Structure 1
Amino acid sequence: MITLTAVKKSYSDEVAIGPIDLEIPQGGITALVGPNGAGKSTMLTMVGRLLGMDQGAIEVAGMDVASTKSRDLAKVLSILRQENHFITRLTVRQLVGFGRFPYCQGRLTAADEEIISRYIDFLDLGDLEDRYLDQLSGGQRQRAYVAMVLCQDTEYVLLDEPLNNLDIAHSVRMMRHLKRAADELGRTIIIVLHDINFAAAYSDYICAVKNGRIARFGSPHEIMRDDVLSEIFNTEITVVETPGRRPVAVYF
């Protein structure tokens, strides 16, 4: 479980996040949704200890994020930010291997190599593992970064807009990989998404953020309602029920 207690981050008198009180259950996918500037990425990076908080406390699997040693936290929690400043002369396999650093400090063992191969196969990157990152498409490169994060073998995985700049086909493929990681590997995945329909289709829980606060938290069926979504996104949204599928939001 991830617990945020009275968490607050202030940038100015006009711009502030929180106070946030939230419990994210263990297991499955929790999608963070909401308008631009709502505080989704800020909240995620505070949980990942890439951004300090001004007040409050965050615990991941009982570990205090602020005080736990980095090496210990890196074996429980991994994070992928939007900004991937990659070195072009890295191959896919070399990049994925970075996920083993908390365990081997850069000295890969045979066991590490086996784990690297496992996640390359899991993300369908076997044919690309010797390719350099600058030779890949955006969707292929994004899968390589997700493979690196999963290769860290943490129970909790934080992903900040992994569908950014992906087309529909690559977005669907990515979300199916993440759903498999949650269901088959037992990962707890917290993901920032802009598309509410992807959140509804693949997540187990949806956390709606607005104006730096938690507006709603619940199952997709609890959040996918006309009144709830229209209020959160400040626009008229109609939710359509489809037989055998999860609800879909229409906002055109």
Structure 2
Amino acid sequence: MIELTGVRKDYASDVRIGPVTVQIPQGGITALVGPNGAGKSTILTMIGRLLDIDHGSIQVAGHDVVNTPSKAIARILSILRQENHFVTRLTVRQLVGFGRFPYSRGRLTAEDEHYISEAIDFLNLTELENRYLDQLSGGQRQRAYVAMVLAQNTDYVLLDEPLNNLDMQHAVQMMSQLRNAADELGRTVVIVLHDINFAAHYSDRILAMKDGTIAEYGTPEEIMRDEVLTRVFNTAVQVIQGPKGPLAVYY
């Protein structure tokens, strides 16, 4: 379980994220949604210990993320940020290998190679594993970064807008693969998404943020309502019943 208690980030006297108090249970996919500037990425990066918190506490699987040693945290949770830039020229396999650093410290073992290959296969990158990142499309590179995170083999996986640079086909494939990671590999996936319909279709829980705090938190059925989405996104939304579940239509 991920537990945030009174978590706050202060940027200025009048700019604040939080306080946020919430429990995200183990298992499945939890989607963080909301308008730009709502605090979704801030909350995710604080959980992943890439951003200091100014008040409150965060625990992941019973471990305080502030006080637990980095090496131990890296074996519990992995995180992919929006911006990913490697200066050196790497192949896909070399990039994915970085996900094993908490275990190998740079000296890959046969077990590490197994997890690297597993992640590459899982993201359908086998034919590209020896290609350099600068030879790939933006969507292919994004899949390689997600494979790197999965290769870390942590119970908790945090992803900040992993659908960036993906067209519709590959966005659907990515969400299907993350759904499989939750169902088949037992990962707990927390993901920041801009598309509420992707969140509704693939996630088990939706945490909607607005103005730095939690506006709504519940199942897709509880969140996918006209009045809820209109209030969260500050625009008129109608929820219709599609062939595979509810769909939000903006007008």
Asked if Structure 1 and Structure 2 have the same fold, meaning a TM-score greater than 0.5 normalized by the shorter chain, the answer is yes
User: For structure 1, which runs of at least 5 residues remain unmatched after alignment?
Assistant: none
For residue 131 of structure 1, report the CA deviation from its aligned partner.
0.1
1:5 is the counterpart of 2:13: no
**Aligned AA for 1:247?**
P
Q: TM-score, normalised by structure 2?
A: 0.99
Greater alpha carbon shift after TM alignment, 103-112 vs 80-89: 80-89
CA distance, structure 2, for counterparts of residue 31 and residue 51 of structure 1: 20
Encode CA deviations 1:116-168: one digit per residue, 9 max, x unaligned: 11111111100000000000011111110000000000000000000112211
Identity %: 69
1:61 is the counterpart of 2:67: no
State the partner residue of 1:141.
141
State the partner residue of 1:16.
16
Change (3 A) 1:129 1:76: same
For residue 88 of structure 1, report the CA deviation from its aligned partner.
5.4
1:109 is the counterpart of 2:109: yes
**8 A Cα contact 1:88 1:133, kept in partner:** no
Q: Secondary structure at the match of 2:20?
A: strand
For residue 177 of structure 1, report the CA deviation from its aligned partner.
0.8
CA distance, structure 1, for counterparts of residue 34 and residue 108 of structure 2: 40
**8 A Cα contact 1:89 1:133, kept in partner:** yes
State the partner residue of 2:47.
47
For residue 210 of structure 1, report the CA deviation from its aligned partner.
0.4
For residue 58 of structure 1, report the CA deviation from its aligned partner.
0.1
1:248 is the counterpart of 2:222: no
Q: TM-score, normalised by structure 1?
A: 0.98
Q: Secondary structure at the match of 1:142?
A: helix
Report runs of 4+ in structure 1 exceeding 6 Å deviation.
Answer: none
Q: CA RMSD in A?
A: 0.8
1:221 is the counterpart of 2:199: no
Paired residues for 1:199-210 under 5 Å: 199-210=199-210
CA distance, structure 2, for counterparts of residue 242 and residue 128 of structure 1: 36
CA distance, structure 1, for counterparts of residue 88 and residue 74 of structure 2: 25
For residue 111 of structure 1, report the CA deviation from its aligned partner.
1.4
**Aligned AA for 1:191?**
I
User: For structure 2, which runs of at least 5 residues remain unmatched after alignment?
Assistant: none
